[in-house]
Amino acid sequence: MTHEASLIAGVEDIDCRGMTTLITGSTSGIGRQTAEALGAGGATVYVHGRDAQAGKEVTDHITRAGGTAEFFPADFTRRREIIELADRVREASDTLDLLINNAGGVFRSGQLTEIGVEYTFQVNHLAPFLLTAELVDQLNSSARVVTTASAAHNGTSLNLDRVRTVDTHRSFWAYSHSKLANILFTRELARRGEVHGCGWTANCVHPGAIPGSGFTRFLPGPVSKLAQALDRVPGVTSVAEGAAELLHVALSPRTDDISGRYFSDQVPTSPSESARQPQDANRLWRESASLLDIDVPLQLPAKEATWRGRLCVATERGGYWPHPRSILLRYSHHIAIVPRTLRDQWLHTIALPRRCYYHSNCRIAEASPDPHGS
Ligand SMILES: NC(=O)c1ccc[n+]([C@@H]2O[C@H](COP(=O)([O-])OP(=O)(O)OC[C@H]3O[C@@H](n4cnc5c(N)ncnc54)[C@H](OP(=O)(O)O)[C@@H]3O)[C@@H](O)[C@H]2O)c1
């Protein structure tokens, strides 16, 4: 059975039978439509949200359409419940083909969660970070991780001091900052997955401005009502169109080999400059693990080095591999193996990242991904 969102995404012909998928925040809005479309395509869908009744409606809908679905509740303000959600997914299936980190929203009141983190940051960023870390070993080599970000990330830069307090809480800043975190998280996940040779891809999506979802329900009554009324204005992004943005990145063959990108209107797009800072992506990754009191997931090779001055990237291949004193430098599509002692002479200077990582035996070096988003 075909679903409107699949048609809009151009993925209606994709056979999802045999696929195991988890879509967080699929009891409402674009997550729900995405889950229903995947179920209609034959996927096994793990539906997530907090509301058991809404969860049942979605799983019933999928089952009636001939699909398979199960509802797993978890409140993302509670660290333990996120871990339990991952446990239940692991129990239900050995492998995951698609993880859509979609749960989230704009939340009005400033409050700290039980781990002392601002509520929006935890629900929108730390929860998907923890869930992905917990499930990373379930992802098969052709799996896709899709995270729902937003164009609302524009105008903020990473500020990890401000997520430990609500003294200066402003709900829109908190939302915008959490969506910036979604993009930095995606880029770092893609980079670390590539370093580890995992094979899966990670991308994020701006689904459009969608007043018809449940997105505005936590805002003051009149604002919420006004926003929902906009859903009837011609040309406004519908919930199905928003879901199609997710489905395109999740299923389309056109996005097969793309990783670490931010999609808008079904096209990889450059996010804001703050969302393209590799150092911030790395710092967010490490500090998220620290806030959650977990080991840093997908750790990079043992030793980290910062070259003073510009990072140099070799553009020629030497015949030295696997000589123990050779070094493999990688930057974007460039790969080079150079003798360690001649590194500086061999390298062409480019004004890009200053950090790289290498194994302590100096055989493998990995440069940060392109901060300009290419
Ligand atoms: N709508 C827009 O204009 C727009 C634009 C850009 C990006 N986005 C993003 O799109 C995503 C989906 O939003 P939507 O518009 O579809 O809104 P929605 O209809 O409100 O759906 C949000 C989903 O997230 C879940 N959720 C919220 N708080 C949670 C918590 N503490 N723990 C667990 N689950 C929680 C909700 O579950 P419950 O039913 O249990 O609350 C619901 O399933 C969000 O990440 C949002 O930031 C939306």
Residue-by-residue pLDDT tens, the chain, 374 positions: 579 999 999 999 999 999 999 999 999 999 999 999 999 999 999 999 999 999 999 999 999 998 999 999 999 999 999 999 999 999 999 999 999 999 999 998 789 999 999 999 999 999 999 999 999 999 999 999 999 999 999 999 999 999 999 999 999 999 999 999 999 999 999 999 998 889 999 999 999 999 999 888 877 777 777 877 777 777 789 999 999 999 999 999 999 999 999 999 999 999 999 999 999 999 999 999 999 999 999 987 643 333 333 333 333 333 333 444 455 555 444 444 445 554 444 443 333 333 343 332 333 333 333 333 32
Q: Which residues contact 244 (CB under 8 A, 6 or more apart)?
A: 5, 6, 7, 8, 9, 266
User: Does 83 share its domain with 180?
Assistant: yes
User: Does 127 share its domain with 275?
Assistant: yes
pLDDT per residue as tens digits for the range 139-161: 999 999 999 999 999 999 999 99
| Residue 1 neighbours by CB distance under 10 Å | 14
Whether 264 lines ligand 1, by a CB cut-off of 6 Å, is no
Q: How far is the CA of 297 from the centre of ligand 1 (A)?
A: 25
Which residue's CA lies nearest to atom 15 of ligand 1?
A: 215
- Residue 315 falls within a domain, yes or no? yes
Whether 123 lines ligand 1, by a CB cut-off of 6 Å, is yes
Q: What CATH number is attached to the domain comprising 114?
A: 3.40.50.720
30 three-state secondary structure: helix
Return the ligand 1 atom nearest residue 26 CA: 43
Q: Which residues of 24-56 are buried (b: 16+ CB within 10 A; e: fewer)?
A: bbbbbbbbbbbbbbbbbbbbbbbbbbbeeebbe
**Which range marks the domain in which residue 341 is found?**
303-367
In this prediction the pTM is 0.84
Domain end (from 268, 292, 316): 292
pLDDT per residue as tens digits for the range 71-80: 999 999 999 9
Q: Does the active-site annotation cover 175?
A: yes
Measure CA of the first residue to CA of the last residue in the chain; give whole Å. Answer: 37
State the greatest distance between any 2 C-alpha atoms of the chain, in Å, as a whole number.
69
Which residue's CA lies nearest to atom 10 of ligand 1?
A: 148
| Separation CA 69–CA 130 (nearest Å) | 23
| Separation CA 14–CA 265 (nearest Å) | 20
- Residue 297 falls within a domain, yes or no? no
- Residue 37 falls within a domain, yes or no? yes
User: Does 118 share its domain with 22?
Assistant: yes
